[in-house]
Chain A
Amino acid sequence: MTRNSATVSLPNAPSIQWFLPLIWIALLAMCIVGMPLLEGLFRWVEPDARQVVYDRAAFYELLGRHVLVVSVAAVVTIAVGVAAGIAVTRERGRDFLPLVGQLASLGQTFPPVAVLALAVPVLGFGTLPIIVALMLYGLLPIVRNTLAGINDVDATIKEAAQAMGMTSWQVLRHVELPLAAPVILAGVRTSVTINIATAALGATVGASNLGDPIIAGIVNGNMAYVLQGALLIALLALSADSAFNVYQQRLRQRLSAS
């Protein structure tokens, strides 16, 4: 089975497993609430600016919208990506396998900025264009891993399942998907993590989120704003990534045989 090389193997004890994600989440929460307390630090970065802590919107509001946009995009991408992956690994859909693979690759090679630029005239300013851009950008890892995960399921196990009298739906539901789950989850993890960073672009088309301080900072030449946005986005990405990691480890433990 394909393993994600970035996976750090952690000890089995659940309390220790959850240690890392909880630290990241705690740090994120502390920064959201306590950003004004770091004013001294940011003043040192931008001694001449009138304002050094971004205050056009509350950080928790920006975080909420950021999480919402990424989540909506992720849910749609997972649904579409996994469904496409399943469809082209069925006997009837095999012919479309190369096509789907290429389409997903195309989605990722197409720069999200360009997607935004093209989407705004059609969809207008706001949240919708960034969700579309994130969906296209995040599709590839999910499709690719769904294909790899399902194709890597031992053919003799699938054949045995069929020979025992499982219908093709039962083989998919009880054999292929459970055995492919860790690999599919690795794809979801990659997709969500890169999209947390990419979502910041939404600020350029009026979708207010943690990208706002960064864009405002660039426009006003205020590096302190940029740092605040980047810091929060990085902490959010690390929180999500390490939480996925724990979940992935658990799935793998249950499937340690395969």
Chain B
Amino acid sequence: MIELSHVSKQFGDDTAVEDITLRVAKGKFCALVGTSGCGKSTTLRMINRLIEHSSGDIILDGQAIEQYDPVKLRRRIGYVIQSTGLFPHWNVARNIGLVPRLLKWPATEITARVEELMGVLGLPVGEFAHKYPHQLSGGQAQRVGVARALAADPDILLMDEPFGALDPITREKLQDELAKLQARLHKTIVFVTHDMDEALKLADHLVVMRDGRIVQQGTPLALLQRPADPFVESLLGGLERGLKQAALTRVKDHMTSLGPTLPAQSRIPADFSLRQALSMMLRDHCDRLTVVDQGDVPIGELSLRRIVKEAQLDKVSQRDA
């Protein structure tokens, strides 16, 4: 668990980060979002003491970070950056095995761990182990960067715009893989990005920062439903907000049981998002979809009228709350 309370950082007379209070529970994915220079990277780098905070408390697993030896602290925190920071003179296997080697693991264990991680991240050992970073594509290099961060199996992962330099297709693929990885490994992740869609897609907890301060934090859905101010709203995409919210909602949460009427022609799997359902309705010119399970067996029905109505109800209940 990571807790920041009233943390500030001054560089000379400039205040980079002011009065940040934030709690990331164990196994949760927290995204820090904001425009460049808002202090999100500084906040991240204070957690592994690349930057020492000026005031406030940063508590890691119940202990203030000043009480840890910085070198030992960093060896138990994974770190991934946009430019990968891979060592150009070391091959892929050696880069991935860096932290285990610093921790003096036996050589056979390091090799086994490196091969395991290369498998997990889709880098065939035979093809990649002996390649050098300059021989890799951006996506491959970032996979190696993630593998290196995971090598010593740290509980905490800090990621600073890890996918920011990748092309959209590779970026989306790596985002999906990170989400899958997280569902399996349950690391405590702090993830810095300026891409709100990326944050909405991956995070359990969203923190919007501006000028060194936290503007709003909460679950992605909560922020979408009630942005605190026009700045957060614009970051969340303004008019697109409805669709972004739909993207976070599963079809199965809005479906009704199969009615007596004729089943709709178009079929959609239950674990797809509402956004995909809306898109399908537009494409197929219909206002009803048949919801199917993984075996393509119809299990329910989704109607446009109902989606819109329920969205309205959400709004009403918010106003009442």
List residues of chain A with CB under 8 Å of any chain B CB. Answer: 154, 156-157, 159-167, 170, 174-175, 178-179, 254-258
Given contacts A257-B132, A257-B134, 8 further A-B contacts (CB under 8 A): A156-B81, A163-B81, A165-B71, A170-B102, A178-B89, A257-B133, A258-B88, A258-B89
Question: Interface residues of B, CB < 8 Å — how many?
Answer: 23
Residue of A nearest to B154 (CB): A165
Q: Is the CB–CB distance between B81 and A165 below 8 Å?
A: no
- Chain B CB within 10 Å, residue with most, of A159, A163, A175, A256: A163
By secondary structure, the A interface counts as: helix
Q: Is the CB–CB distance between B87 and A157 below 8 Å?
A: yes
17 pairs from A and B in contact (CB 8 Å cutoff): A156-B83, A156-B85, A157-B85, A157-B88, A159-B50, A160-B81, A160-B85, A161-B87, A162-B50, A163-B79, A163-B81, A164-B148, A179-B88, A179-B89, A257-B89, A257-B133, A258-B89
> Which residues of B sit under 8 angstroms from A254, Cβ to Cβ?
89
Q: Give 4 closest A-B pairs by Cβ, nearest first.
A: A160-B85, A165-B75, A257-B134, A257-B88
Q: How far is the CA of A160 from the CA of B83 in the complex (A)?
A: 10
Q: Is the CB–CB distance between A165 and B102 below 8 Å?
A: yes
Chain B residues 52 to 96 lying within 8 A of chain A, measured CB to CB, are: 71-75, 79, 81, 83-89
List residues of chain B with CB under 8 Å of any chain A CB. Answer: 48, 50, 71-75, 79, 81, 83-89, 98-99, 102, 132-134, 148
Residue of B nearest to A179 (CB): B89
Q: Is the CB–CB distance between A256 and B134 below 8 Å?
A: yes
> Which residues of B sit under 8 angstroms from A167, Cβ to Cβ?
71
Q: How far is the CA of A254 from the CA of B73 in the complex (A)?
A: 32
> Which residues of B sit under 8 angstroms from A179, Cβ to Cβ?
88-89
Q: Is the CB–CB distance between A159 and B88 below 8 Å?
A: no
Residue of A nearest to B135 (CB): A257
Q: How far is the CA of A165 from the CA of B73 in the complex (A)?
A: 7
> Which residues of B sit under 8 angstroms from A157, Cβ to Cβ?
85-88
Q: Is the CB–CB distance between A165 and B89 below 8 Å?
A: no
Q: How far is the CA of A178 from the CA of B87 in the complex (A)?
A: 10
Residue of B nearest to A174 (CB): B87
Q: Which residue of B83, B89, B98 contacts A164 across the interface (Cβ within 8 Å)?
A: B98
> Which residues of B sit under 8 angstroms from A161, Cβ to Cβ?
85, 87
> Which residues of A sit under 8 angstroms from B89, Cβ to Cβ?
178-179, 254-255, 257-258
Residue of A nearest to B84 (CB): A160
Q: Is the CB–CB distance between A165 and B133 below 8 Å?
A: no
Q: Is the CB–CB distance between B50 and A164 below 8 Å?
A: no
Nearest-neighbour CB distance to chain B for A15, whole angstroms, equals 24
Residue of B nearest to A178 (CB): B89
> Which residues of B sit under 8 angstroms from A163, Cβ to Cβ?
48, 50, 74, 79, 81, 85
> Which residues of A sit under 8 angstroms from B50, Cβ to Cβ?
159, 162-163
Q: How far is the CA of A256 from the CA of B79 in the complex (A)?
A: 25
Q: How far is the CA of A257 from the CA of B141 in the complex (A)?
A: 13
Q: Is the CB–CB distance between A164 and B88 below 8 Å?
A: no
Residue of B nearest to A162 (CB): B50
Q: Is the CB–CB distance between B133 and A164 below 8 Å?
A: no
> Which residues of B sit under 8 angstroms from A257, Cβ to Cβ?
88-89, 132-134
- Chain B CB within 10 Å, residue with most, of A178, A255, A257: A257
Residue of B nearest to A157 (CB): B85
Residue of A nearest to B99 (CB): A164
- Chain B CB within 10 Å, residue with most, of A162, A165, A175, A179: A165
> Which residues of A sit under 8 angstroms from B133, Cβ to Cβ?
257
- Chain A CB within 10 Å, residue with most, of B71, B84, B134: B71
Q: Is the CB–CB distance between B81 and A175 below 8 Å?
A: no
Nearest-neighbour CB distance to chain B for A258, whole angstroms, equals 4
Q: How far is the CA of A178 from the CA of B89 in the complex (A)?
A: 8
Nearest-neighbour CB distance to chain A for B48, whole angstroms, equals 6
Q: Is the CB–CB distance between A164 and B81 below 8 Å?
A: no
- Chain A CB within 10 Å, residue with most, of B72, B88, B102: B88
Q: How far is the CA of A255 from the CA of B87 in the complex (A)?
A: 10
- Chain A CB within 10 Å, residue with most, of B72, B83, B87, B148: B87
- Chain B CB within 10 Å, residue with most, of A157, A159, A175: A157
Q: How far is the CA of A24 from the CA of B240 in the complex (A)?
A: 73
Q: How far is the CA of A254 from the CA of B134 in the complex (A)?
A: 11
Q: Is the CB–CB distance between A164 and B74 below 8 Å?
A: yes
> Which residues of A sit under 8 angstroms from B79, Cβ to Cβ?
160, 163-164
Q: How far is the CA of A157 from the CA of B73 in the complex (A)?
A: 19
Residue of B nearest to A158 (CB): B85
Q: Is the CB–CB distance between B88 and A255 below 8 Å?
A: yes
> Which residues of B sit under 8 angstroms from A258, Cβ to Cβ?
88-89
Q: How far is the CA of A85 from the CA of B144 in the complex (A)?
A: 33
Nearest-neighbour CB distance to chain A for B101, whole angstroms, equals 10
> Which residues of A sit under 8 angstroms from B99, Cβ to Cβ?
164-165
Q: Is the CB–CB distance between A165 and B72 below 8 Å?
A: yes
Q: How far is the CA of A8 from the CA of B74 in the complex (A)?
A: 43
- Chain B CB within 10 Å, residue with most, of A159, A167, A179: A159
Q: Is the CB–CB distance between B132 and A164 below 8 Å?
A: no
- Given A159-B50, A159-B85, also A164-B102 (CB < 8 A): yes
Q: How far is the CA of A258 from the CA of B132 in the complex (A)?
A: 11
- Given A156-B81, A257-B134, also A166-B102 (CB < 8 A): yes
Residue of B nearest to A166 (CB): B102
